[in-house]
Amino acid sequence: MPRYFTDEHEWIDIEGETATVGITDYAQEQLGDIVFVELPEVGAALDKGGDAAVVESVKAASDVYAPITGEVTEGNAALEDEPALVNSSPEEDGWFFRMTIGDKDELEGLMNEAAYKEFVAGL
C-alpha cells in the first residue's frame, strides 16, 4: 500500500481504487491541540489542490487540500467525538476521509516518504 505526501503536509494511502487522506505528524505538531475537524460530505467532488477539509486548532482554522481529484466516499466518524485523534495518531487512526482516484497520473507529482522527510527537514 503506497503512501504519498504533498507539500501541504497531507498524506494519501492508495489501496486499489480508493485513497485515504490525512495530515502528517509534522502538520499536527505545527497546529497544536486540534478541537474540531470539518470533513467533506460523502459524495463531494474534490479537485486536486482545492479545499477539502478544515482543521480547527485552539489557535486557528487551517485548510486541508485534496491531494488528488476524486469523490469522497467516507469521512472518519471517530473524529467527530475525538478530534484529538489527529494529534495522537495523525497518520493512522486520525485519518480524515476516503476518496476515489479520479486520475492515477496525479499521483506522479506527489512525494514518497523519503522525499517528504527531506522536504520537512528543509523547512
64 sits near other proteins (criterion: CB under 8 A): yes
CB of 62 to other proteins, least distance (A): 5
C-alpha cell recorded at residue 71: 469523490
Q: Return the C-alpha cell found at 8.
A: 501541504
Grid coordinates representing 55 are 482543521
Report, in Å, the least distance between residue 104 CB and other proteins: 23
Residues 6+ apart with CB under 8 A from 118: none
Considering the rule CB under 8 A, would residue 83 count as an interface residue with other proteins?
yes
Q: How many helices (H) and strands (E) does the chain have?
A: 4, 9
50 touching other proteins, by CB under 8 A: no
Per CB under 8 A, residues contacting other proteins are 8-10, 23, 27, 30-33, 35-36, 38, 54-65, 83
